[in-house]
Structure 1
Amino acid sequence: MTRTLWRDHDWHLIHVDPQPPALHMALDEVLTHEVGTGRRPPTLRIWEWGGSAVVIGRFQSLRNEVDAEAARRHGIEVVRRVSGGGAMFIEPGNTITYSIYAPLSLIKGMSFQEAYAWMDAWTLEALGELGIKAWYQPLNDITSEGGKIAGAAQAHRGGAVLHHVTMAYDIDAAKMLDVLRIGREKLSDKGTQSAAKRVDPLRSQTGLPRDAIIDHMIATFRRLHGLAEDTLRPAELEQAQALALGKFSDGAWTGEVA
């Protein structure tokens, strides 16, 4: 396999209506597989969230990461994704999430650290153009002088790499601390105010609406790498819906690492 560059590929964009958290998990699995088999071109997908969620990493302990009672009280769905990394606290209007589905050739010969930075270089450029000096904090955080902005995760599946990023546009720090145990442990001695500083939202750093930031990110990707409009294909959506109702809504999967 020969190493490829971004412009060697015909990139497509998927940015559709809000989807339930479990369906987002399923779409990542399906679209990674489709790109790996060559049935779908390399794709950037911008997520729109249909509900609040905690997304835990593939290898995280559900009990250690999430206060299940607090999640129920706040109406927050807990789902497990197919990639590693840490827990993400999601609220629809407060979060910017994207996935990149690419052939493994795009990161051939790279270390994990190099691959993460390579996959998000366009994001750092977009943020820089919005006045945010951002950089990669190894292994998988995007941070700035104001604090952490985003966390990334990857998975390699059958010839393709899934790379996804969740960015904090705004944050309800009190609710996050109520639901995420790990955040509570890290910040309990510093209080809620420190939580807001530790994850510094894009809203406070840019003053821009969420949609304006997303539009600029898409435009930056298109300028650097090329990007054609696309949508989910009926077979992809059908397969993802079945997985969302089955695997990704199944307590056995979500609680696989108790």
Structure 2
Amino acid sequence: MFPKALGTPPRAFCYGDGMGMTNTMRGECKTPGGKLVAVTVDPGDAPTGAPAFATADGAPAPRVRVDGDFFVDADSDEHADALLRDIEHAIASVIAESPTTDAETIAAAVREAITRHPRARLVGTDAAAVAVAAARALTPPPSSGTDTAASLTLPPLAGAPAQRVGVVMTPDTDFASRWAALWPRLAIIHDEPRTPAEQMAVDERWAREVAAGARRPTLRIWEWSAPCVVVGRFQSIPDEVHEDVARAEGITVVRRCTGGGAMFIEPGNTITYSLYTPLDFVAGIDVASSYRLCDRWLVEALRGLGLDVRFAGLNDIASQYGKIGGAAQRRFPAPHAAAHGGAAAPVATDAPGAVLHHVTMAYDIDAAKMTRVLNVSGEKTSDKAVRSAVKRVDPLRSQTGMTRAEVVAHLLAYCRAQASRA
């Protein structure tokens, strides 16, 4: 069995998610140093008194959904979606054979599903974590007289948490040379205020335009026109956001095209930027290292304000005082033909493909409102020294004593100085 490495996990619970799955059971698992994955199981429409799960004799199989703040590195949307659907099918098949199956059996089925998709891979989580989440969903509550959940934890890590999610240390001289080649070509834009929906559309459209060779590499600093919650590509909105509270607070919920976790946005309290570059900028390095490459300029710029800024985990940026922000990333292959948003876009014969990398930082934070709107599970902070999501974040306002406009001006000045020297 999986050893008791992380303590007693949270129990599965029933909920309705607004997506056609009701009377469901959900389990979560946070990879130390990585991301959270959740598995939701719907037993199906078994009649009253019948077994909760189907067997191989033709009864309906359970429905399974995998979600979370993990990432998928894939050649295309189709490959990413196919990987997740195959993982869900593998879990459902194992459960249909034996509703009391153990985590090791589920993990073996998930690993087999993953091997069938060489053009897509999970980042920040793995088969073991998916299996633990699934097994937790199937664990009976304490009132049933059994208490098997305590043993459903991840195996001990062979190395540091960062190694588990694939971080390969790349010499900083290599990062410096890549940026030296990029700065002269980079458009630096302080964008106009946009609605949350517009921001999501612009972000993906500009990335696809760079991928098609129709836009030069660009660094865009956003301005938000309205508050919102931005959820990651693979997250379940009802499990991440108290939607009724968000509506009452006048906060819209939008979904971005990248993975990662939910971000609470208020225009005056948030600083966001996106980097759109050809794929050759990140060629030859793994996904985790590419986060450090893309954010190298930001770390150096913030250090210029006297902050001891460093990378934390897979995709966070932090100082000695706490987390400053989080990044997300997605690769777009060079298109064969383009027709995005209903309009054809030109495609260069040597279209380069693109990587979209964006970061949201907390300039300030309304902690009370954020905790009312976001639903942060205990599992998500299970490997953090500070268990509160609010206490983990230390805004730039308190760290620098500067206004938001001054911080943004400093970031723009740093970028323009680098571009002029290149």
Q: CA deviation at 1:184?
A: 7.8
Q: Does 1:214 align with 2:408?
A: yes
1:21/1:183 Cα in 2 relative to 1: closer, same or farther (>3 Å)?
farther
Task: Give the partner amino acid of 2:179.
Answer: W
Q: CA deviation at 1:98?
A: 0.4
State percent identity of aligned pairs. 54
Contact 1:15-1:47 within 8 A present in 2 as well: yes
1:61/1:5 Cα in 2 relative to 1: closer, same or farther (>3 Å)?
same
Q: CA deviation at 1:72?
A: 0.3
What is the TM-score with the length of structure 2 in the denominator? Answer: 0.50
Aligned pair partner of 1:120 in 287, 292, 295: 295
Task: Give the partner amino acid of 1:164.
Answer: H
For 1:148-227, what aligned pairs fall within 5 Å after superposition? 148-158=323-333, 159-182=353-376, 195-226=389-420
Contact 1:178-1:184 within 8 A present in 2 as well: no
1:183/1:89 Cα in 2 relative to 1: closer, same or farther (>3 Å)?
farther
| Higher helix residue share | 1
1:101/1:149 Cα in 2 relative to 1: closer, same or farther (>3 Å)?
same
Alpha-carbon separation, structure 2, partners of 1:31 and 1:56: 20
Secondary structure class of the residue paired with 2:300: helix
Ranges in structure 1 where 5+ consecutive residues have no aligned partner = 188-193, 228-258
1:41 — aligned with what?
216
1:109/1:185 Cα in 2 relative to 1: closer, same or farther (>3 Å)?
closer
Contact 2:187-2:219 within 8 A present in 1 as well: yes
Higher RCO (CA < 8 A, seq sep 6+): 1
Listed one character per residue, the Cα deviations across residues 107-126 of structure 1 (whole Å, up to 9, x for unaligned) are 10111111001100111111
Contact 1:177-1:184 within 8 A present in 2 as well: no
Backbone CA RMSD of aligned residues: 2.0
For 1:21-32, what aligned pairs fall within 5 Å after superposition? 21-32=196-207
1:95/1:144 Cα in 2 relative to 1: closer, same or farther (>3 Å)?
same
1:138/1:186 Cα in 2 relative to 1: closer, same or farther (>3 Å)?
closer
2:265 — aligned with what?
90
Q: Does 1:100 align with 2:294?
A: no
Q: CA deviation at 1:8?
A: 2.6
1:117/1:226 Cα in 2 relative to 1: closer, same or farther (>3 Å)?
farther
Ranges in structure 2 where 5+ consecutive residues have no aligned partner = 1-174, 334-352, 382-387
1:14/1:184 Cα in 2 relative to 1: closer, same or farther (>3 Å)?
farther
Q: Based on CA coordinates, which of the two structures has the bigger radius of gyration?
A: 2
Alpha-carbon separation, structure 2, partners of 1:59 and 1:225: 35
**Which sits farther off after the overlay, 216-225 or 143-152?**
216-225
Alpha-carbon separation, structure 1, partners of 2:367 and 2:308: 23
Contact 1:173-1:195 within 8 A present in 2 as well: no
Alpha-carbon separation, structure 1, partners of 2:236 and 2:246: 15
Listed one character per residue, the Cα deviations across residues 101-141 of structure 1 (whole Å, up to 9, x for unaligned) are 00010010111111001100111111111111010112000
Q: Does 1:7 align with 2:201?
A: no
Task: Give the partner amino acid of 1:217.
Answer: L
Contact 1:71-1:179 within 8 A present in 2 as well: yes
Alpha-carbon separation, structure 2, partners of 1:169 and 1:184: 25
